[in-house]
């Protein structure tokens, strides 16, 4: 039973290279990201993932737990990356340009990740209401927190309160909406507002999939026109109630 017994042409590499978790997990994540993006959640099977990774299914399960967790992992990777990009863009922009800067960064990110976006963050697959909500909430809190500050009155240089570049990892349940005195009437309202804004961005990104002739700048402009005036008015009220209603 030495290695010489079955000397027929082995279709599989003679000695299976073993790969540590820290390498295999990202590899699986990349493969799954691609598959989920192209075929959606339902259209992707764990057998496919395993086969493309060159390993067997139990290994995949050992490493990522379940199909849902794998999806969650992919989601978190994208969400984190996007949060970093948007936050950086917003902070780098002048106060009065933060909305446009954030929007632009968002749409540019989507543009670069079309295939993955299609099946991941866009509608069409997610079985994870809770997880999606979590990510959405974090993203919303971040965006709205920064935007409300940036739009507020045109002052307050760059004191982003708690989360400066730390993008509030999607897996991190912290990142409550900044309850500064500048936040709108109540933190709950700011939360709602953030979710509405986020939903608009998400929906527009989804719509973009079937209208690729439009470019990111136009979409960013559109969002600025749509929500800029309203946000300014609200921030004005928050900063100093002048025109009550």
Partner DNA sequence: GTAGTAACCTACTTATAGTAGGATAGCAAG
Partner DNA sequence: CTTGCTATCCTACTATAAGTAGGTTACTAC
Alpha carbon dihedral 59, 61, 67, 73, in 10-degree steps, equals -80
Taking CB under 8 A as the criterion, the residue among 53, 79, 197, 220 binding a second copy is: 197
Q: Kindly state the smallest distance separating residue 157's Cβ from a second copy, in Å.
A: 26
Catalog residues that contact DNA under the rule CB under 7 A: 15-21, 24, 44-47, 54-59, 61-62, 66-68
Q: Kindly state the smallest distance separating residue 1's Cβ from a second copy, in Å.
A: 44
Closest alpha carbon to 194 in 128, 152, 142, 239: 142
The answer to whether the CB of 210 falls within 8 A of the CB of 204 is no
Alpha carbon dihedral 214, 90, 78, 203, in 10-degree steps, equals -40
Q: Which stretch binds a second copy (CB under 8 A): 11-19, 29-37, 106-114, 220-228?
A: 220-228
- Check binding of 229 to a second copy (CB under 8 A): yes
Ramachandran assignment for 243, one of left (phi > 0), alpha (psi -120 to 50 degrees), beta (any other): beta
Q: Kindly state the smallest distance separating residue 222's Cβ from a second copy, in Å.
A: 6
166: partner contacted, choices a second copy, DNA, none (Cβ within 5-8 A by kind)? none
The answer to whether the CB of 177 falls within 8 A of the CB of 183 is yes
Q: Kindly state the smallest distance separating residue 205's Cβ from DNA, in Å.
A: 26
- Check binding of 128 to a second copy (CB under 8 A): yes
- Check binding of 191 to a second copy (CB under 8 A): yes
The answer to whether the CB of 102 falls within 8 A of the CB of 86 is yes
Closest alpha carbon to 49 in 40, 36, 200: 36
Ramachandran assignment for 45, one of left (phi > 0), alpha (psi -120 to 50 degrees), beta (any other): beta
Residue 51: exposure state from Cβ atoms within 10 A (0-12, 13-18, ≥19): middle
Q: Which stretch binds a second copy (CB under 8 A): 10-18, 22-30, 56-64, 187-195?
A: 187-195
Closer Cβ to a second copy, 55 or 146, answer by number = 146
144: partner contacted, choices DNA, a second copy, none (Cβ within 5-8 A by kind)? none
Enumerate binding residues for a second copy (CB under 8 A): 40-42, 122-129, 132-133, 136, 188-189, 191-193, 195-204, 206-208, 210-211, 214, 219, 222-223, 225-234
């Amino acid at each position: 039973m030495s290695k010489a017994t079955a000397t027929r042409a082995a279709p599989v590499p003679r000695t299976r290279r073993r790969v540590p978790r820290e390498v295999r997990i990202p590899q699986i994540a990349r493969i799954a990201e691609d598959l989920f993006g192209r075929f959606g959640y339902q259209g992707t099977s764990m057998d496919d993932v395993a086969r493309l990774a060159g390993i067997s299914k139990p290994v995949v399960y050992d490493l990522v737990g379940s199909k849902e967790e794998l999806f969650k992992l992919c989601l978190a990777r994208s969400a984190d990356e996007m949060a970093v990009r948007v936050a950086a863009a917003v902070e780098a922009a002048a106060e009065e340009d933060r909305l446009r800067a954030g929007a632009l960064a968002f749409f540019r990110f989507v543009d670069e990740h079309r295939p993955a976006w299609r099946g991941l963050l866009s509608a069409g697959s997610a079985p994870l209401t809770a997880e999606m909500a979590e990510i959405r909430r974090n993203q919303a809190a971040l965006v709205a927190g920064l935007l409300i500050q940036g739009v507020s009155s045109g002052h307050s240089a760059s004191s982003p309160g708690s989360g400066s570049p730390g993008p509030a990892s999607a897996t991190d349940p912290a990142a409550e909406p900044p309850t500064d005195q500048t936040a709108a009437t109540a933190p709950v309202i700011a939360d709602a507002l953030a979710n509405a804004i986020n939903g608009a961005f998400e929906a527009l990104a989804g719509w973009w999939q079937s209208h690729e002739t439009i470019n990111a700048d136009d979409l960013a402009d559109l969002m600025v026109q749509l929500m800029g005036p309203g946000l300014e008015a609200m921030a004005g009220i928050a900063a100093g109630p002048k025109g009550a209603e």
